Chain A
Amino acid sequence: MPTQILIPAALRRFTQDQPAVEVEAATADEALKALTGRFPTLQQHLFQPDGKLRSFVNVFVNDEDIRHLQKGATTLKAGDTLSIVPSIAGGAR
């Protein structure tokens, strides 16, 4: 299933400045694997060394966080858009 992945500005220099990348995938996991397969330098920014998504990296299918769906196994339908969305956090001390 062709799926468009929206790339946040912070990561576009790892996708040759493309704001969106189209991949063939049936699930969210497959889409991310296809993305990092095509752009390997993205891997360290999205995933921990053990292969899990970094805690402050969130993946949305359309308007829903995949953690509230079937996580990486969330199936993709025609026309779905996958977004990589950060959690933004910090603090003084």
Chain B
Amino acid sequence: MLRLSEAHRKAIAAHGEKAYPQEACGALLGTAKGEFKTVEATIEAANRFGDVEEFREKSGESQANRYVIPPEAIARIEREARERGLDVVGFYHSHPDHPARPSQYDQDHAWPWLSYVIVRVAAGRAEDLNSFVLSDDRAVFAAEFIE
């Protein structure tokens, strides 16, 4: 279960609208007790899809339907989290003109336990927002309840 305040939802939605028609992405910092996570801060990240060697653009792929936060950026985010006494409990990204549900690509690249928040941005306006968690065996990317 994910506790995500209205303020943080609005911040994620605003980032998605600002990035439209490209995918926005960022990190969720917070605390966790077992599977129960509380988001205390969101950090916007630059979408570096196409810049990172392992994620070069193939036909049909662009920042409009792909996002990458490279490891150097993750390392900085992890450091900031530690300095603030928090953990990285998940990530968010937007789906421009696409449902707020994970794709197979999302699932293939997810890490277990982390909360993956997805916001649909349709014609520049943020709509529904959902969160998903990958099972340890990587077989299921299940919706999680947001409080």
Q: Which of B37-93 contact A (CB under 8 A)?
A: 49, 52, 54-55, 60-61, 65-72, 74-75, 78, 87-89, 91, 93
Contacting pair A91 B49 (CB below 8 A): yes
CB contact between A86 and one of B60, B66, B71, B106 (< 8 Å): that residue: B71
Instruction: Enumerate chain A residues within 8 angstroms of B111, measured Cβ to Cβ.
Output: 10-11, 45, 56, 86, 88
Main secondary structure of the interface of B (DSSP, over half): mixed
Interface size class of A (residues with CB under 8 A): 20 to 34
Asked if A63 and B112 make an inter-chain contact with CB atoms under 8 angstroms apart, the answer reads no
Q: Are A90 and B110 in contact (CB under 8 A)?
A: yes
Checking B54, B78, B96, B106 against A90 with a beta-carbon cut-off of 8 angstroms, the contacting residue is: B106
| Interface Cβ pair total, 8 Å cutoff | 95
- Distance (whole angstroms) from the CB of A18 to the closest CB of chain B: 13
Q: Is A16 an interface residue (CB 8 A)?
A: no
Name the B residues within 8 Å of A6 (CB-CB): 78
Grouping DSSP codes into helix (H, G, I), strand (E, B) and loop, the A interface class, with mixed when no group exceeds half, is: mixed
Chain A residues, Cβ within 8 Å of B71: 58, 60, 65, 85-87
Q: Which A-chain residue is minimally distant from B45 (CB atoms)?
A: A88
B112 and A88: CB pair below 8 A? no
Please report A residues at the B interface, Cβ cutoff 8 Å.
Answer: 6, 8-11, 13, 45, 55-56, 58, 60, 63, 65, 83, 85-93
